[in-house]
Chain A
Amino acid sequence: MPAGLLLYTTATPNGHKVTVFLEELKAAYGVEYDVEKIDISKNTQKEPWFIKLNPNGRIPVLVDRNRDNFVVFETAAILLYLQQFYDKDGKFGFDKEKDPNNYSELLQWIFFAHGGVGPMQGQSNHFHKYAPEDIPYAKKRYSEETKRLYGVLEIRLQDRDYLVGPGRGTYSIADINVIAWIRFHKIAGIESLDEWPRLKDWVERATSRPAFQEGVTIPK
């Protein structure tokens, strides 16, 4: 009997963001989900059937068969959607109506990572590993910007254990959203996280969670 949630994905930082959270939801509440692996080296995600789901032709894409096959693309939007509908005890987020300021801070840090860390670290990956031509300026531009962004996170984590939430913060989708990217820092030309000790601790704390460890192995 297929699970209600279906995720089209592959093993990239963006894919991992969602599979990690789905594993957290499974561990917390027994939420089940199916995965269909998309081969991006064959450009499956640009085929017409996939474009119908996501006109941007990118993974991951979520289809919620529990809710009339509602489709969500953009990883951060998927995380927010899953948190709203499947995190019934609000462990991984904040209530928009009852806790609007924390909810807004969650959104701010999610947008910061989604619009900053993802694309900039992604460009650094491209120019370090995938570009046909070696352009030292571009490699430096994007690895420096990625480091700057890590520095911003370091500031936030000075007296916090997690990005958002009262006091020292609570583990939420805001953390998952960006740690899934930081794990790949070496490809972006950033050899070690030692320069950002609070960030390094935070990454270790999150990635030692069983659900996190399982989530980054999916799809198998």
Chain B
Amino acid sequence: MSSGKQFTLHGGVTGPNPLKVAVVLEELGLEYDVVNINIRAGEQKNPEYLKLNPNGRVPTLVDHSNGDFTIWESDAILLYLVERYDKEHKLSVADADEKFKLIQWLFFQASGQGPYFGQAVWFMRYHHERLPSAVERYHKEILRVLGVLETVLSKQEWLVGGKLTVADISFITYVLARAVWPERKHGTHRRCSWNQMAIGWGLEGVEGGDVQKEFPNVYKWHQKLVSRPIVRKFLDIQAEAFRKLSESQAK
């Protein structure tokens, strides 16, 4: 089965968590094959996949140069990649204390941003009935988390070590898709456009939800991230995937 590539990335590259891993693999110049997994068809719960990842979620990475070592949880994958393959600290830090700060921010992303933004998307986009108090709960939490990031980024350019690291990258895909495509208007295209994965859409009509105005430092930071060619490339792939999905659903 081997194509000779060092890694296999299970889960495609378009979901918010797989995208992070694809970005870091490419930023570090590492080669990988992609195995797509159809989430809508529930393929991530197939017995074969569950053998790799008992949690049945994406992404999962297999390192063929390390005895097919298998690793899941996107931020654990990022840490694995920088520990083993980023000796020049292109996306990581060398100082022992700064490493803990990096871990700290990854945990904040993994527990404070990802799951809450995910619940927001569920109740706004996928759930069959509108439950106002649930939607409000998660909107409020998104605003709170953006506020936390704004507090920190108003005093420093990057989250850790005065430089770009995987800590910053881990936040991208859930943060500010609208910031990338500012020409999209509020209130348009409620159905199936790619940026509905992210809080930009999610804050449509929400008081305090104009990210550029209310959280200017978060906005600036995010712009720097999404203007990196590799990040840009994957966001375009993601946009295209959602566009195709929306077309097929419109039929």
Find A137's partner among B103, B119, B129, B151 (CB 8 Å cutoff): B129
| Chain B residue with Cβ nearest A56 | B148
For B103, what are the chain A residues with a Cβ–Cβ distance below 8 Å?
Answer: 74, 76-77, 80-81
| A73-121 interface (Cβ within 8 A of B) | 73-77, 80-81, 84, 96, 100-101, 104, 107-108, 110-112, 114-116, 118-120
For A101, what are the chain B residues with a Cβ–Cβ distance below 8 Å?
Answer: 66, 69
| B75-113 interface (Cβ within 8 A of A) | 75-76, 79-80, 83-84, 97, 100, 103-105, 107-108, 110-112
- Whether B111 contacts A74 by the Cβ 8 Å rule is yes
Find B79's partner among A107, A112, A131 (CB 8 Å cutoff): A107
For A75, what are the chain B residues with a Cβ–Cβ distance below 8 Å?
Answer: 107
| Chain A residue with Cβ nearest B153 | A55
Q: A120-B115, A137-B129, A156-B54 are in contact. Are A108 and B71 (CB under 8 A)?
A: yes
Q: A111-B73, A119-B111 are in contact. Are A135 and B104 (CB under 8 A)?
A: no
| Chain B residue with Cβ nearest A138 | B134
Q: A107-B79, A111-B76 are in contact. Are A152 and B54 (CB under 8 A)?
A: yes
Query: Does chain B have a CB within 8 A of A191?
Result: no
Given the complex of chains A and B, what is the CA–CA distance between A128 and B54 in angstroms?
27
- Whether A112 contacts B83 by the Cβ 8 Å rule is no
For A133, what are the chain B residues with a Cβ–Cβ distance below 8 Å?
Answer: 133
Whole-angstrom distance from the CB of A202 to the nearest CB of chain B? 15
Whole-angstrom distance from the CB of A63 to the nearest CB of chain B? 13
- Whether A72 contacts B110 by the Cβ 8 Å rule is no
| B137-161 interface (Cβ within 8 A of A) | 137, 148, 151-152
Given the complex of chains A and B, what is the CA–CA distance between A127 and B151 in angstroms?
29
Interface residues on A, range: 35 or more
Whole-angstrom distance from the CB of A207 to the nearest CB of chain B? 23
Q: 1/0 contact trace for A38-77 toward B, CB 8 Å?
A: 0000000000000100011100000000010010111111
Given the complex of chains A and B, what is the CA–CA distance between A118 and B115 in angstroms?
10
- Whether A96 contacts B100 by the Cβ 8 Å rule is no
- Whether B54 contacts A119 by the Cβ 8 Å rule is no
Whole-angstrom distance from the CB of A124 to the nearest CB of chain B? 12
Query: Does chain B have a CB within 8 A of A123?
Result: yes
Q: A108-B71, A111-B76, A132-B133 are in contact. Are A77 and B107 (CB under 8 A)?
A: yes
- Whether B76 contacts A107 by the Cβ 8 Å rule is yes
Q: A55-B148, A114-B107, A115-B114 are in contact. Are A108 and B129 (CB under 8 A)?
A: no
- Whether B133 contacts A131 by the Cβ 8 Å rule is yes
- Whether B73 contacts A107 by the Cβ 8 Å rule is yes
For B97, what are the chain A residues with a Cβ–Cβ distance below 8 Å?
Answer: 67, 70
Q: A104-B71, A118-B111, A152-B55 are in contact. Are A77 and B104 (CB under 8 A)?
A: yes
Whole-angstrom distance from the CB of B78 to the nearest CB of chain A? 10
- Whether A116 contacts B55 by the Cβ 8 Å rule is yes
Query: Does chain B have a CB within 8 A of A28?
Result: no
Given the complex of chains A and B, what is the CA–CA distance between A20 and B5 in angstroms?
44
- Whether A115 contacts B104 by the Cβ 8 Å rule is no
Q: Which A residues contact B (CB, under 8 angstroms)?
A: 51, 55-57, 67, 70, 72-77, 80-81, 84, 96, 100-101, 104, 107-108, 110-112, 114-116, 118-120, 123, 126, 131-133, 135, 137-138, 149, 152, 155-156
Task: Give 18 A-B pairs besides A56-B112, A81-B103, A111-B110 with Cβ atoms closer than 8 angstroms.
Answer: A67-B97, A70-B97, A73-B104, A73-B108, A74-B105, A80-B100, A80-B103, A100-B83, A104-B69, A104-B79, A108-B72, A108-B73, A111-B76, A135-B131, A137-B129, A149-B55, A152-B54, A152-B56
Q: Which B residues contact A (CB, under 8 angstroms)?
A: 54-56, 66, 69, 71-73, 75-76, 79-80, 83-84, 97, 100, 103-105, 107-108, 110-112, 114-116, 119, 127, 129, 131, 133-134, 137, 148, 151-152
Q: List 15 A-B contacts (CB under 8 A).
A: A51-B151, A56-B148, A70-B97, A70-B100, A74-B104, A77-B100, A77-B107, A81-B100, A100-B84, A114-B111, A132-B133, A135-B134, A137-B129, A152-B55, A152-B56
